[in-house]
Structure 1
Amino acid sequence: MSEWKETKLGDVAEITSSKRIFYSEYVENGVPFYRSKEIIDLFNRRDIQTELYITEKRFKEIEEKFGVPNADDILLTSVGSLGIPYKVKPKDRFYFKDGNLTWFRNLDKKKINPDFLFTWLSSNVGKQKLDEVSIGSTQAALTISGLKTIEILLPDLKTQTAIASVLSSLDDKIDLLHRQNQTLEALAETLFKQWFVEEAKEEWESMPLSKMANFLNGLACQKFPPKNEIEKLPVLKIKELSSGITENSDWATTDVKPEYIVKNGDVIFAWSASLMVKIWNGQDCILNQHLFKVTSDNFPKWFYFLWCKHHLAEFISIAASHATTMGHIKRGDLDEAMVLIPSKHELEKMTEKVEPLIEKIITNQSQIRTLTALRDTLLPKLMSGEIRVKMG
């Protein structure tokens, strides 16, 4: 380890934040303005729905006077959900909220590879260092002064590049599979829209969504704590449905009815707070309340999945209209959402086209999980020097 040297982050990067943008400066269209929420979405490879913008004029004014994020700069969430990094891409054009995000700019590329720094910040090694300098009890935060003092163990640039290359190749494969799944799902939705919206037949019967499929509400999993360290599974809540199982996820006993165990490929519908419909792409887990596990004895998976997605915008609108702290829908809303039922022969023909798309998505999700596990295993070992990369 003699060639690995401890270096303070403040010695290899300028660590700063943005210029304050006031509420009155937000506009409906213009240059995207990111907060922690958008950075977390980008890190998790989710499409972001930008809600805030600033004018082109204001952006150029800031760019000329103070600078804006450039390729290879890194933004780090610094309040609440701490330590989520995002490395700016060449085509990115946005500004961001001061306080919420910290900006690593003007990296000394003679000392540190930007991909290596990004990967280090993503690793358990980096996260532990960030935790050590965080402040606050009710809401944790990272300060610029604290971040500057963090010491990172750096090998020579050639080794940094090799390590980043190994991990980036895995990330590239994961990204490719994610993009492929987005394309497959979009194709399935296009076929669905063609059949059931644009070319729907008058003679098709209709029935409520609630009768076409079974909507199993999850358990109050806090009432089912693990009985031992073997017979337990993580709890699937809305947070996990969005971001996956983590070390912070809750656990519950496996001594529950089998239907409450969620498996890879199951259709899950979050009906409260952040409404969404997803094909679960993780390990076995226990279904928590506020989530439906959607199944059907009479219709194929693609059919009830896409019908749930078709009504999702309407359900989100209903949830938003409820004057509660947490918007939600009721079973009555499922009763009122109607589904068109084609003939048995037509449904079979449709299934021949759409089912392979859904099955490929599920297969890709399994590959993503395997590659992610490999990356997460290698990452801390490579970043600490425990495993060395062979260089030709």
Structure 2
Amino acid sequence: MTSEWTLEALGQIVTGKTPPKSIKNAYSDSGVPFVTPKDMDGRKWTVTTERSLSHEGVRSVQKSVVPAGSVAVSCIGSDMGKAVRIPVDSVTNQQINTLIPDTEKCDPDYLYYLLSTMQQDLKDIAGGSATPILNKGHFGKVRVRLPAIWYQKQAAKILSALDDKIQVNHQINQTLEQMAQAIFKSWFVDFEPVKAKIATLEAGGSEEDALLAAMQAISGKSEAELARLQAEQPEQYAELRATAGLFPAAMQDSELGEIPEGWECMALDQIAKYQNGLALQKFRPENEDDYLPVVKIAQLKKGYADHDEKASPDIKPDCIIDNGDVVFSWSGSLMVDTWCGGKAALNQHLFKVTSESYPKWLYFHFTRHHLEEFQRIAADKAVTMGHIKREHLKRALCAIPNKTAIENAGKILERVLSKQIELRLEKITLSELRDTLLPKLLSGELVLDAQLEEKGVVNV
């Protein structure tokens, strides 16, 4: 079949351009998206851009406007060869060349996936200078072997279905993240259910009125909406009422300030163990086929272990992380995340956070709650890599509910965190499947039948 594939040019090429500095008000909060390599975040489509062009900005670079559906390719530095689809008419900067394919010969999605496999080839074409540049002339010389358009569409459809599911998972996780942060802050930092009860009682309301006020604070529903919930979804109403009942109707003084009555003021290092990683250059594997990938700050940021560095699997278990573990980088780029990149060895400057007494959601959210303050402390240090010390964990105070409230009020946060981890792991699986199918589909190793296009059947 591949003998029938034809050698073709990539398509019409448009080089991006930045508006001249002499143009005032070239940028605006909304308008035509202005795409730069920074906006290429690994997803198929540019979802958002840091900047947009005003009418004046677009007019100054009119010849560089590219139509929706085009494929943009980064052409300079370490990002060279990264590709992205353009969803709406846009302008790119001069570090990007955009391809407008002839859709009778080349499916745009197929071209995007094809380019995603050519990153090293494009770097080789650009040459080995200190700052290699892949200019329009280089692109004009590139030829690719293309199958029939029906094959391109089928192959792209299979790959796009996986990418679409990956993107859906990402969006669901963003929503879950926003929900979890809002709930945690409302209940365990601002104590809104408790304050709602207190305000109602101080205004002369009954205990039942106070409970109803807490239910409104927890759910964001009005009294009428709660009445409707009780009639239409009594089990959900009962769960909400039980949750509201877990919050007291009074406050008490503490080292942290006023906290709910019956709660404890505790430091982060009292509710969780912060195990520092190892200087893993001292623990290299004896067998290159039996090792753990090393996770440093860079890998934590990326969310996966790239296997560039390897460590012995015989290091102490406390310094080995696996899916779902909470990891906190306390030096350099301070961040907290749940690791979803598989079993790995934890390098120094990273804490593995665990607890024998408290659930994961609690120490994860409280660590992240204090992250902004930790980042400020690290930024104030006059050293190359700002960091925090263990003493800062002792000063980071938290209002810890009683055991019953933790077990019951925390159920929703526990479910959300578990779902986030599940979706991230599924995203990794889908990405691996896509990356496995990609070269097979683009090379013709997987045979697609034109008669089965609508059924989406792949013959291997």
- Range class of TM-score, shorter chain: 0.7 to 0.9
Report what 1:218 is aligned to: 277
Q: Return the letter of the residue paired with 2:148.
A: D
Query: Which residue identity does 1:61 align to in structure 2?
Result: R
Pair 44,162 (structure 1): closer, same or farther in 2 beyond 3 Å: closer
1:19 and 2:18 matched = yes
SS in 2 for 1:2: helix
Aligned-partner Cα distance in 2 for 1:49–1:324: 33
After the TM superposition, which residues 57-206 of structure 1 pair with which residues of structure 2 at under 5 Å, given as runs? 57-62=55-60, 65-77=62-74, 78-90=76-88, 95-99=91-95, 102-123=96-117, 126-136=118-128, 138-199=130-191, 201=251, 202=259, 203=261, 204-206=263-265
Asked if 1:7 is matched to 2:8, the reply is yes
The amino acid of 2:16's aligned partner reads S
The correspondence of residues 1-392 of structure 1 with structure 2, limited to 5 A, is 1-9=2-10, 12-19=11-18, 22=21, 30=29, 34-39=35-40, 41=41, 43=43, 50=50, 53=51, 56-62=54-60, 65-77=62-74, 78-90=76-88, 95-99=91-95, 102-123=96-117, 126-136=118-128, 138-199=130-191, 201=251, 202=259, 203=261, 204-245=263-304, 249-391=308-450, 392=452
Conservation of the 8 A alpha-carbon contact between 2:264 and 2:401: yes
- Which has the greater radius of gyration? 2
Q: Quote the offset at 1:138 in angstroms.
A: 4.3
Instruction: State the Cα distance separating 1:264 from its structure 2 match.
Output: 0.6
- Residue 26 of structure 2 contacts residue 56 of structure 2 at CA under 8 Å; is this kept in 1? no
Q: Distance in 2 between matches of 1:62 and 1:194?
A: 48
Of the two structures, which has the highest relative contact order with CA contacts closer than 8 Å and spacing of 6 or more? 1
How far 1:155 sits from its partner (Å)?
Answer: 0.8
Q: Is the 8 A contact 2:26 2:58 kept in 1?
A: no
Match of 1:367, SS state, is: helix
CA deviations on 1:13-49 (whole Å, 9 max, x unpaired) are: 314232355599799963565542332x353999979
Distance (whole Å) between structure 2 residues aligned to residue 141 and residue 319 of structure 1: 37
Q: TM-score under structure 2 normalisation? A: 0.75
> Is the 2:23–2:57 contact (alpha carbons within 8 Å) kept by the matching residues of 1?
no
Q: Which runs of 5+ in 2 are unaligned?
A: 193-250, 252-258, 453-460
CA RMSD between the two structures: 2.8
Q: Write the deviation string for residues 114-148 of structure 1: whole angstroms up to 9, x where unpaired.
A: 1111111223xx22322321333545543333233
Taking every aligned residue pair, what percent have the same amino acid on both sides?
A: 38
> Within 1, Cα distance between the matches of 2:370 and 2:42?
26
Task: Give the C-alpha shift of residue 68 in structure 1.
Answer: 3.0
Output the CA distance in 2 between the equivalents of 1:330 and 1:136: 43
C-alpha change, 1:160 and 1:300, in structure 2 (3 Å) is same
Counterpart residue type for residue 115 of structure 1: D
Q: Count the aligned residue pairs.
A: 380
CA contact (8 A) 1:240 1:249 kept: no
CA distance in 1, matches of 2:372, 2:151: 49
Label 1:315 to 1:165 Cα distance change in 2 as closer, same or farther (>3 A): same
2:407 is aligned with what amino acid?
E
Cα displacement (A) at 1:389: 2.2
CA contact (8 A) 1:42 1:48 kept: no
User: For residues 44 and 111 of structure 1, what CA distance do their matches in structure 2 show?
Assistant: 21
Contact 1:26–1:54 (8 Å) recurs in 2: no
